[in-house]
Structure 1
Amino acid sequence: MELIQTIEQFAWIGWLVLILVFLVIEMLSLDFTFLMLSIGGLAGLGSDLIGAPIWLQIIIAAAVAAVLVLFLRPPLLARLRRGEDPTPTNVAALIGLSGRVLSTVSAHAGEVKLSNGDTWTARGDAADELEPGTVIRVSRIDGATAYVRPADLEGPRA
């Protein structure tokens, strides 16, 4: 019984440590989950300071954290991500890009220069060979190889 009384007497220290650990993890993850858990820990600390038993402190902390994670975190994440740039980047930005054939593109070999200035190893999507100077569009990227089609076979890039 003396152990339980000691735990209840110094529970505020445990709450403070838990809150600080959650805040440090939140600073590293920036996902709002651990922020909500630390606020739940703050509710547990508050209930400890007003004299609630340890079991009630834990229930209050868990309930507050669960409510915040389920109801406050999603709109906060949506608001945070609202300003993200929707422009495709990396490989996704190359899909649909136009260019010109530098060396004959077949199903097995070829080289193209894209409109962004990059030169890529290329393969043709169609069975026909594409001669140098042909205007092409990138249909997909596989590793370091661009799969291309003649530009006149597709509509304009969206």
Structure 2
Amino acid sequence: MPVWLIWLIAAIGLAGAEALTGDLFLLMLSGGALAAVASSLLVDNLVVDGVVFLVVSVLLLVMVRPVLRRRFAAGTGLPDLAKALEGKSALVLEPVGRHAGQVKLDGEVWTARPLSDDDVYQPGDQVTVVRIDGATAVVFKSV
């Protein structure tokens, strides 16, 4: 088996293992193994391949990995669905009381409870979402 193929299999294996960890460490080693593939194709020397693997892996770990980790950590991400639903109007489908109720909110049926435990809203009432508590919309009657 050619040496470059062994390096390629190592690169693919490391990249696949990275998918399980998500730490970006094995991905950097995979990049080093890809560099060793190129080295093996250019120079037929196992020691040179190993040095290329080591140098490129260390450079990727020291220079690229911290930048990627900061970038992923600082991402704005997707907007919070719960925050997006606050203040929206909903239609009461089943009586909304302290322990039960359903509303149609943004085209979907949600379980609901009133903001004040003493309130009860009847089907057909328009309510406003105050907040989302887990999978339950906390609502009050719109005026």
Q: Do these two structures clear the TM 0.5 threshold for a shared fold by scoring above it?
A: yes
SS of residue paired to 1:131: coil
Task: Tell me which residue corresponds to 1:7.
Answer: none
Work out which of the residue numbers 32, 43, 49 in structure 2 matches 1:49.
43
Partners of 2:111 and 2:5 lie apart in 1 by 62
What are the ranges of 5 or more consecutive residues in structure 2 without an aligned counterpart? Answer: none
Task: Tell me which residue corresponds to 1:104.
Answer: 95
Aligned partner of 2:96: which letter? V
The structure-2 alpha-carbon separation of the partners of 1:111 and 1:21, relative to structure 1 and needing over 3 Å to count, comes to closer
Aligned partner of 1:108: which letter? H
Aligned partner of 2:91: which letter? R
TM-score, normalised relative to structure 1 = 0.54
Task: Tell me which residue corresponds to 1:5.
Answer: none
8 Å Cα contact 1:125/1:149 also seen in 2: yes
Deviation at 1:147, TM superposition (A): 3.3
Work out which of the residue numbers 28, 36, 44 in structure 2 matches 1:36.
28
RMSD: 4.3
Partners of 1:69 and 1:97 lie apart in 2 by 47
Q: Which has the higher contact order (CA 8 A, sep 6+)?
A: 2
Task: Tell me which residue corresponds to 1:17.
Answer: 9
What are the ranges of 5 or more consecutive residues in structure 1 without an aligned counterpart? Answer: 1-9, 153-158
Task: Tell me which residue corresponds to 1:3.
Answer: none
SS of residue paired to 2:96: coil
Q: Which one has a bigger Cα radius of gyration?
A: 1
Q: What number of residue pairs does the alignment pair up?
A: 133
